[in-house]
Chains A and B, each alone.
Chain A
Amino acid sequence: MLSRSAERLYWLGRYLERTENTAKLVSVHMNLLMDLPKGVEMGWQQLVKINGSADEFYDKHKVASERNITKFMLTDAAHSGSLLSSLTAARENIRTSRELLPDEAWEQVNEMYLYTKNNLDSVTNRRNRVLFLKEILKGCQRFTGLLSGYMSHNHPYRFIRLGRNLERADMTSRILDLASLLLAESRSDELRQYETILWMNVLTALNALLMYRQHVRSRIKGDDVLSFLLLDPNLPRSVCRCIIEMLDCVGDLPNNQAVPDCLHELKQFVYAIDTKQTSQLQLRAVLDQLQTHLNACHQQIASTWFLRQT
């Protein structure tokens, strides 16, 4: 397999996961805000904090209104973190890798892209936005499903999975980062009152609510949620599961000495996180370190398989 193709498929996996995560995030956040009374400190601005683009957002917009934020997150082509930008990048990567994937994979991504292009204006309207996000989430799942069912689970497949899981772990850590704000000592009594709803939404954002109930069997508490989302080995979007998936992929890839080491190190780090005894500040610092670890894994993957030997 060409190094260039490996790199493109890895990024295809990452960008599509990012597309799905962005859609999911906006969708869950919208639901959350509908549940909360006006005036609590949760607002649309939280969304741009999650993907670290608050500065970029405020360069363009004065007010963090629903309209501005959703446009920025979903359809702003000039914002590299928007859903449209992720999907466009995914499409470019798959367009240049068509020879490695089943036809349906390309058609699925292309269809989603065309759908997004045709609905750019409709996302400002809540009802249309709900439909739009649902369609995107379905499309991403369809892509994952048809690859799993139509494609040999070979090297190209492994690189897509690798990218997807790295991106997924990254997004989970970002969502936890946001959740950590909820632990702030200074939070208002009013917000404390709605804490359960907030944690439920965090779980929903990661498709983890049902599994949490089955698995944890306790009422929804912050530290339990945190530990479930970091450490559960079976939940698809827990950081631990993502690492297991990545280890599984790289085990079958050639010349792979350095990458598993890096991933094991990451795993040790995650296992050592104690969610019971952490203050908000400590937690934020830990999640920061987690992101640094993930980035190191990415660098190692790139230097092992993508960078051209001359």
Chain B
Amino acid sequence: MKSIWENYKTDLAYDELMLSEYQPRTISHGLCQYLNSLKKTDIDKRKLAAELAIMEMGISFTVYSDEGNIDRAWPFDIIPRVMAAREWKVIEQGLKQRLKALNCFISDVYGEQAFIKEGKIPVETISTSKNFRHECVGMRPKHDVWANICGTDLVRDKDGVMYVLEDNLRVPSGVSYMLENRVITKRVFPELLQGINILPIDDYPTQLQEMLASIAPNSDRPQIVVLTPGIYNSAYFEHAYLAQQIGAQLVEGGDLVVDDDDFVYMRTIEGLEKVDVIYRRIDDDFLDPEVFRKDSVLGVPGLMRAWKAGHVALANAPGAGVADDKVVYAYVPEMIRYYLNEEPILPNVPTYLCSNPEHLDYVLAHLAELVVKPANESGGYGMLVGPHASAKEVEAFRKVVVANPRNYIAQPTLSISTAPTLCKGKLEPRHIDLRPFILQGENVFVTAGGLTRVALRKRFVGGKLVARWR
């Protein structure tokens, strides 16, 4: 019988589990031994069991199409990814450090602007940022924390170093899939957890609940709600899941009302009830039609009034997205030095800013080797991957960049690390990333691990996921 490892290649990039075709890394020794003890038919059975569990648990995301919105089952790779506790400790510290610095920066931007005045960042970078909100100037959210929930994307290059690819500070998603992945892994490979020391991750809902309670304006037992755009949002499953896990009400814009006293209330069977904390999963733009987009039917008219009066906490705070910008990203190491007086623990991917004339010259001369990204988009929209683009595409992109240099940054193409992934009954190396989630309220907390997304093909697009272990 053929082994699932047949023809497994590790020369593509750094492999997270395998040193070579036959040699597991120290950290994955137990895992590989266990996998090898299973027959191929066993693996197939467990893959099927995982798919069934996902269907039954209704772990889904919504896909939009002409035939209506379809609820799709979440694609999941059963081969776990493990990481050494020693390495994770450092990453954890690095992530905490990073979020603390980012929050200092956002507070500064809407406050004294010392970072700008001292010339650490050009004033135009902030003033032209799509996510800078004038309405937030002068606000002081509790604990001076604006980004309470952050999902940071990490990738490992061929040299084995973990780089921060981006910080998602607006409405990062994926944490529910991380939690459910672990539940499924425990169901599918119950024997595996006997032999290997794996940290639990179920703590996240408790931590999230505590963090949200810690930012309540003034209430011992605050009323916390999760504000969702509704059932047609692709992350609706996650909104409902998190609300259930933290015992909060899941509300839509229409369930909330801001009264003449500038407090936020929800419509209940007993009449209007005061709301203290809103974990909002709606973008700034749609939050309050009185202030932002007038045509928004997802938001709550008057919400910004209530927030500015200090009557309700919003997580993440409006305007926090100013630090979720690929140009601002380039300045994070400097922020860590400036605000915390520390050296950055986690490195950035080297970044060229097209707004800087010298950088722009370099970028235009090396377009075919670089990855060029728009500053404000997420999810890989509107970007150029030089080595994979045709000459025509490169030339078209050159015009776009020259027309609006502020909106673009460029980075060298990384050789992103791989992990064994089950493809048609056989293991193949696939590129992966890692998104841990960081919470900051009164305290800072990092999930023990994160969501790993797997590139389905050779190129890095979207993906399926693996529970992250260590």
Pairwise interchain contact B240-A99, C-beta atoms closer than 8 A: yes
Q: Which 10 A-B pairs have the closest CB atoms?
A: A99-B243, A99-B244, A254-B270, A98-B240, A110-B58, A305-B269, A99-B250, A6-B269, A3-B267, A1-B269
Pairwise interchain contact A95-B255, C-beta atoms closer than 8 A: no
Using known A-B contacts A96-B231, A98-B240, A308-B267, determine if residue A5 contacts B249 with beta carbons closer than 8 Å: yes
Give the CA-CA distance A25 to B336 in the complex, in Å.
69
Give the CA-CA distance A180 to B58 in the complex, in Å.
44
Using known A-B contacts A107-B58, A114-B55, A114-B56, determine if residue A4 contacts B244 with beta carbons closer than 8 Å: no
Distance (Å) between the CB of B241 and the closest chain A CB?
A: 7
A255 CB contacts on chain B under 8 angstroms:
269-271
What sequence of 0s and 1s flags, for each residue 414-455 of chain B, a beta carbon within 8 Å of any chain A beta carbon? Answer: 000000000000000000000000000000000000000000
Q: Does any Cβ of B come within 8 Å of A78's Cβ?
A: no
Q: Considering residues B58, B251, B268, which has the most beta carbons from chain A within 10 angstroms of its beta carbon? A: B58
Using known A-B contacts A2-B251, A4-B252, determine if residue A309 contacts B270 with beta carbons closer than 8 Å: no
What sequence of 0s and 1s flags, for each residue 100-135 of chain A, a beta carbon within 8 Å of any chain B beta carbon? Answer: 110100110011001000000000000000000000
Q: Identify which of residues 256-271 in chain B touch chain A, using a CB-to-CB cut-off of 8 Å.
A: 266-271
B251 CB contacts on chain A under 8 angstroms:
2
A107 CB contacts on chain B under 8 angstroms:
56-58
Give the CA-CA distance A100 to B268 in the complex, in Å.
14
Closest to A109 in B: B58
Closest to B239 in A: A99
**Which one of A3, A95, A99, A110 lies within 8 Å of B231 (CB-CB)?**
A95
Pairwise interchain contact A106-B58, C-beta atoms closer than 8 A: yes
Q: Does any Cβ of A come within 8 Å of B248's Cβ?
A: yes
Pairwise interchain contact A99-B267, C-beta atoms closer than 8 A: no
Q: Does any Cβ of B come within 8 Å of A79's Cβ?
A: no
Give the CA-CA distance A254 to B271 in the complex, in Å.
9
Interface residue tally of chain B, by bracket?
A: 20 to 34
B231 CB contacts on chain A under 8 angstroms:
92, 95-96
**Which one of B244, B267, B270 lies within 8 Å of A98 (CB-CB)?**
B244
B58 CB contacts on chain A under 8 angstroms:
95, 106-107, 110
Distance (Å) between the CB of A110 and the closest chain B CB?
A: 5
Q: Does any Cβ of B come within 8 Å of A298's Cβ?
A: no
Distance (Å) between the CB of A104 and the closest chain B CB?
A: 10
Distance (Å) between the CB of A200 and the closest chain B CB?
A: 38
A99 CB contacts on chain B under 8 angstroms:
226, 240, 243-244, 247-250
Closest to A100 in B: B244
A110 CB contacts on chain B under 8 angstroms:
55-58
Extra contacts besides A2-B268, A5-B249, A107-B58 (16): CB < 8 Å: A1-B268, A1-B269, A1-B270, A3-B268, A5-B250, A98-B240, A98-B241, A99-B240, A103-B57, A106-B58, A107-B56, A110-B56, A114-B55, A305-B269, A308-B267, A309-B272
Q: Considering residues A1, A4, A110, which has the most beta carbons from chain B within 10 angstroms of its beta carbon? A: A4
Distance (Å) between the CB of B234 and the closest chain A CB?
A: 14
What sequence of 0s and 1s flags, for each residue 316-338 of chain B, a beta carbon within 8 Å of any chain A beta carbon? Answer: 00000000000000000000000
Give the CA-CA distance A95 to B71 in the complex, in Å.
11
B248 CB contacts on chain A under 8 angstroms:
99
Q: Considering residues B226, B251, B268, B271, which has the most beta carbons from chain A within 10 angstroms of its beta carbon? A: B268
Give the CA-CA distance A110 to B267 in the complex, in Å.
28
Q: Identify which of residues 4-38 in chain A touch chain B, using a CB-to-CB cut-off of 8 Å.
A: 4-6
Pairwise interchain contact A96-B240, C-beta atoms closer than 8 A: yes
A96 CB contacts on chain B under 8 angstroms:
231, 240, 250
A-B contact pairs, 6 of them (CB 8 A): A3-B269, A96-B231, A98-B244, A99-B248, A107-B58, A111-B56
Q: Identify which of residues 66-97 in chain B touch chain A, using a CB-to-CB cut-off of 8 Å.
A: none
A142 CB contacts on chain B under 8 angstroms:
none
Closest to B183 in A: A103
Pairwise interchain contact B240-A2, C-beta atoms closer than 8 A: no
What sequence of 0s and 1s flags, for each residue 269-310 of chain A, a beta carbon within 8 Å of any chain B beta carbon? Answer: 000000000000000000000000000000000000100110
Q: Identify which of residues 237-257 in chain A touch chain B, using a CB-to-CB cut-off of 8 Å.
A: 253-255
A1 CB contacts on chain B under 8 angstroms:
268-270
Pairwise interchain contact A155-B241, C-beta atoms closer than 8 A: no
Give the CA-CA distance A95 to B232 in the complex, in Å.
12
Closest to A113 in B: B58
Give the CA-CA distance A5 to B270 in the complex, in Å.
13
Pairwise interchain contact B250-A309, C-beta atoms closer than 8 A: no
Pairwise interchain contact B241-A253, C-beta atoms closer than 8 A: no
Give the CA-CA distance A2 to B244 in the complex, in Å.
14
Distance (Å) between the CB of B382 and the closest chain A CB?
A: 33
B244 CB contacts on chain A under 8 angstroms:
98-101, 103
Give the CA-CA distance A5 to B231 in the complex, in Å.
13
A2 CB contacts on chain B under 8 angstroms:
249, 251, 255, 266-269
Distance (Å) between the CB of A117 and the closest chain B CB?
A: 10
Give the CA-CA distance A3 to B399 in the complex, in Å.
53
**Which one of B57, B240, B255 lies within 8 Å of A4 (CB-CB)?**
B255
Give the CA-CA distance A254 to B273 in the complex, in Å.
13
Give the CA-CA distance A4 to B257 in the complex, in Å.
14
Give the CA-CA distance A253 to B269 in the complex, in Å.
8
Give the CA-CA distance A255 to B268 in the complex, in Å.
11
Closest to B225 in A: A2
Closest to B58 in A: A110
B269 CB contacts on chain A under 8 angstroms:
1-3, 6, 155, 253-255, 305
Closest to B246 in A: A99
**Which one of A95, A98, A309 lies within 8 Å of B271 (CB-CB)?**
A309
Closest to B248 in A: A99
Give the CA-CA distance A114 to B241 in the complex, in Å.
20
Distance (Å) between the CB of B399 and the closest chain A CB?
A: 46
Using known A-B contacts A2-B251, A106-B58, A110-B58, determine if residue A95 contacts B270 with beta carbons closer than 8 Å: no
A103 CB contacts on chain B under 8 angstroms:
57, 244
Using known A-B contacts A2-B251, A110-B58, determine if residue A95 contacts B267 with beta carbons closer than 8 Å: no
Give the CA-CA distance A113 to B364 in the complex, in Å.
55
Closest to B257 in A: A310
Distance (Å) between the CB of A100 and the closest chain B CB?
A: 8
Distance (Å) between the CB of B151 and the closest chain A CB?
A: 21
Q: Identify which of residues 210-267 in chain A touch chain B, using a CB-to-CB cut-off of 8 Å.
A: 253-255
Q: Identify which of residues 51-102 in chain A touch chain B, using a CB-to-CB cut-off of 8 Å.
A: 92, 95-96, 98-101
A95 CB contacts on chain B under 8 angstroms:
58, 231, 240
B255 CB contacts on chain A under 8 angstroms:
2-4
Give the CA-CA distance A103 to B56 in the complex, in Å.
11
Give the CA-CA distance A1 to B269 in the complex, in Å.
6
Give the CA-CA distance A17 to B240 in the complex, in Å.
24
